[in-house]
Structure 1
Amino acid sequence: MTDTYDPATDIVDRIAGLTPGSVTHATRHQREKVADATQRSYDALFDPALPDLSLGDRLLVALYACTLSNAPALATHYAERLASIDVDRAVINQIAQGSIGTQEPRLHAMLVFTRTLIESPINGDKAALERLPAAGIPTPAVVALAQLIAFLSYQIRLAAGLRALQALNATEAA
């Protein structure tokens, strides 16, 4: 995890296609501490040293959340990160296509929970939570998973909103 915020590595700016000097970039960075906090959250949630869930599991959950949310640029980002840590390419491809049925039980349970929270968060109830420990996922990992999915939902919506704002700004400038 980085100690200082580096705008050049800001994932949301990169995924949304924001460039310094653009109106949308300036709007997003009016409150730099929010952009900084978003990037620091990303860095923390995907820190390889984070306990309870492996980096591979966290990235697979991220890929699946982006696939379900029709966020192809973010899905590509997470697939590339997965490929860089030598996760089985067949697993990456299956999850990128939305197929989770053949995954091992622990990963399958995490992906089903991801789908529940992304597609129908009201169904993320006690019963949905209890399926995770039943699949061998300890309580600290369940908490980490829920935090990760909440962040991904925010990141996906933020990037989509910034892209829409950028398109609007480009239309108005034309």
Structure 2
Amino acid sequence: MTTPSPVLSAERDRPTPAVDDVIDHLLDIQPGDALDRIRAQRAQARSHAQQSYLSLFHPAKPVVGHVSRLERQAVALFVALLHRSPDVARFYEQGLHDAAAPALLLQAIDAASQAARHTGPYGHYPEGPLTVENTDGPRYAVAAELRPALGNRLAAAFDHVHLLVFHPRDASPAAVQALLDNGWDTTDIVILSQLVAFLSFQIRVVQGLRALHPHLHSPA
């Protein structure tokens, strides 16, 4: 039997405001500046990135699956903290504040991320030539004292997120079953995987553009 978190109840699942372009927002890109012109050269990719964000964090009704807005924001914050991306983490933390998430939840996410933060990637390949690259690394499970704040459903999600971020080679039917046992159906598991993949993409784009910015020149 799963234990729902009291902080993830329906009355707290309030809509949060969307931004026009989340990557522009994270980098404070203004119309006409150097990074804006760079992104304008890939207009379709820019649009797809924003549409992916909207579909995951502001899905149109009827919403597919049972992953609440708070759960989406909580997973995003956890992923950003695992990736050591403070600016992206602040954005999703603000999303939790906007959704009236209590301090207890935010504290639990921060504590979980500190315990789960490693380097990676770790894992083992199937028997073959790539096994020379096998790397052992720590596995993670949310601490018992954090589970009352998170609930078993979100705690199971965090365990799985750590697997996807740091042990991508070690995904297994048992890992999926752990989610199923804690209230995630197959549609929800797909959404969870999409959240992790999107955050990894978003963080890399933000880091790449930030690294590029000092080498660009604004128009005269």
Q: Same fold (TM over 0.5)?
A: yes
The match for 2:84 among 70, 87, 98 is 70
1:52-79 alpha-carbon deviations (Å, 9 max, x no partner): 2011111100000000001111111101
| One-letter code aligned to 1:13 | D
Hey, what's the Cα distance between the residues in 1 that align with 2:207 and 2:172? 27
| One-letter code aligned to 2:99 | I
Point out where structure 1 has 5 or more consecutive residues left out of the alignment: 1-5
The match for 1:33 among 44, 51, 56 is 44
RMSD after superposition: 2.1
Which structure shows the higher helix fraction? 1
Point out where structure 2 has 5 or more consecutive residues left out of the alignment: 1-17, 115-141
**Structure 1 residues 99-108 or 33-42, which shifts more?**
99-108
User: Do residues 121 (structure 1) and 168 (structure 2) align?
Assistant: yes
1:30-56 alpha-carbon deviations (Å, 9 max, x no partner): 121111111111011012653320111
* TM-score between both structures, scaled by the size of structure 1: 0.86
How many pairs were matched up?
165
Structure with more relative contact order (C-alpha pairs < 8 Å, separation 6 or more): 2
Hey, what's the Cα distance between the residues in 1 that align with 2:105 and 2:46? 32
Runs of 4+ in 1 over 6 A off after TM superposition: none
Aligned sequence identity (%)? 30
The match for 1:44 among 55, 61, 68 is 55
| One-letter code aligned to 1:12 | I
User: Do residues 95 (structure 1) and 109 (structure 2) align?
Assistant: yes
* TM-score between both structures, scaled by the size of structure 2: 0.69
Hey, what's the Cα distance between the residues in 2 that align with 1:124 and 1:159? 27
